[in-house]
Amino acid sequence: MHPAVALTIAGSDSSGGAGIQADIKAFQYLGVHGTTVITAITSQNTRNVTAIYPLPPSQITAQLETVLADLPVAAVKTGMLYNATIVTAVASTLKKHHLSPVVDPVMVATSTDRLADDTFLAALKTQLLPHALLLTANIPEASTLLDAPIRSLHDAKHACRKLADLGPRNILVKGGHLKGSTATDLLYDGTTVHEYSLPRIPQRKAHGSGCTLAALITGLIACDTPLHDAVPKAKRILWAMINEGYTPGKGFDVLNHSPLVMVPPEFPTLRHAQVWCELHGSLPPLLSALSVTLIPEVGINVAYAIPNARTLADVCSLQGRIVRAGRVPLRCGSLVFGGSKHVASVVLAAMTVDSGMRTAMNLRYSDAAITRAKKQRLSTATFDRDDEPAAAKSTMDWGTRTAIQRLGNVPDLIYDHGGLGKEPMIRLLARTPGELVRKLRRLSP
């Protein structure tokens, strides 16, 4: 089977973080075959844009006609179009081929350098937007298109409906520029405004995020994903790429387009998202603090519960394990809710006594580890698997409750010596993932 084909019509970014380069990376991430029509060549890096060379419209049309004559393009996006003559050339060719694009109305770079001239805006409104499948506008772009300020989520919802008057079938107003602890995007389908929220990533201003989001949506549409599913999925992927971004130059971050980035699942509530984010952020320091001598044969899981958790579905954990790879620990799997029974049961049992003890991980048992724990003044408790009653619903629930009851409070770690076919194990408990990492450092040899 051949991959789906998507097309991006945009400018070239010499720094590799945005434009055509970001779009191709986004298509590749999705397993989509990416095709390109370059509208302008920019001289830019992670700090600024120093020069722009718009291509002649005849050359742009030639690229577009040549691609469409041969490849079965299933979805199209437009990015930097720069001026009215380019907008008109692109719009007329797409209309001729009955293609409705995802339009990213690129006007300004992350560096605040302009990427469009004074003729661009009017042509965009009259020539391209009336034929668009989707308009993806950030707050400054939406404000410019409407010539009106957008200061709140309420303003953004009103803007969605006003932007629809320009002709696009669907409107996506991205809320990253609004203030608050969450970033909320609004999708208006002509009837309803749908909200998609994720926790804001602090101190991240990622070059190429708008290009990548539009390209991800386009790639998903090329794969026959309905728009109402494509938008939230693309947002989660983009969030992960920003969260695991890096700084290759002296300016802004760029996105991490690697297929290895950990993408969050759909969350039932915002607090689930916040717990996922906090646990995700703790994994790198946890792996750094973890000695391979503490990794048991069955591997390690780590879990973190939402406040007032009641069931396994309320506990976020690895859908996989942390295992030993030579001399280093290796994380296998992604974070999901309901992905653990063993460690999650420990957390839920501990929370019935102290609701703040919401996180735990299992570690390899050794007498040396218990001795280190006591020297570090980490409180310990234990249980014996042989004492488990037949009516116990879960060994970990019963064992955790038993150890806590014997000590009189929730300890820093609970251990047992194993049993028939059961490996001896330590469970390290804490209130937050950050505290868990600090305790792990004290326990590691």
Domains of the chain in sequence order = 5-254 (3.40.1190.20), 270-443 (3.40.225.10)
Task: Identify the pLDDT of residue 203.
Answer: 63
Q: How far apart are CA 241 and CA 395, in angstroms?
A: 39
| pTM listed for this prediction | 0.90
| Long-range contacts, stretch 245-250, CB < 8 angstroms, 24+ apart | 245/204, 245/206, 247/46, 248/15, 248/16, 248/17, 248/46, 249/15, 249/45, 249/46, 249/47, 250/45, 250/46, 250/47
Residue type, 73: V
| pLDDT tens figures, 377-405 | 999 999 999 999 988 888 999 999 999 99
Phi then psi for residue 77, to 5 deg, are -130, 150
305 contacts 359 by C-beta, under 8 angstroms: yes
Phi then psi for residue 280, to 5 deg, are -60, -45
* 8-state DSSP, 4: P
3-class DSSP state of 277: helix
Q: How far apart are CA 175 and CA 182, in angstroms?
A: 9
Task: Identify the pLDDT of residue 292.
Answer: 95
Q: How far apart are CA 222 and CA 299, in angstroms?
A: 39
Strands (E), 150-237: 170-174, 182-188, 193-199, 206-207
| pLDDT tens figures, 222-278 | 999 999 999 999 999 999 999 888 889 888 889 999 998 999 988 988 899 999 999
Task: Identify the pLDDT of residue 421.
Answer: 83
Task: Identify the pLDDT of residue 204.
Answer: 62
Tokens of 169: 């079938």
Tokens of 82: 């720069």
Provide the residue-wise pLDDT of the chain in tens; the chain has 445 residues: 789 999 999 999 999 999 999 999 999 999 999 999 999 999 998 888 899 999 999 999 999 999 999 999 999 999 999 999 999 999 999 999 999 999 999 988 777 778 888 999 999 999 999 999 999 999 999 999 999 999 999 999 999 999 999 999 999 999 888 888 888 999 999 999 999 998 888 766 688 999 999 999 999 999 999 999 999 999 999 999 998 888 898 888 899 999 989 999 889 888 999 999 999 999 999 999 999 999 999 999 999 999 999 999 999 999 999 999 999 999 999 999 998 899 999 999 999 999 999 999 999 999 999 999 999 999 999 999 999 998 888 899 999 999 999 999 999 999 999 888 889 999 999 999 999 999 999 999 8
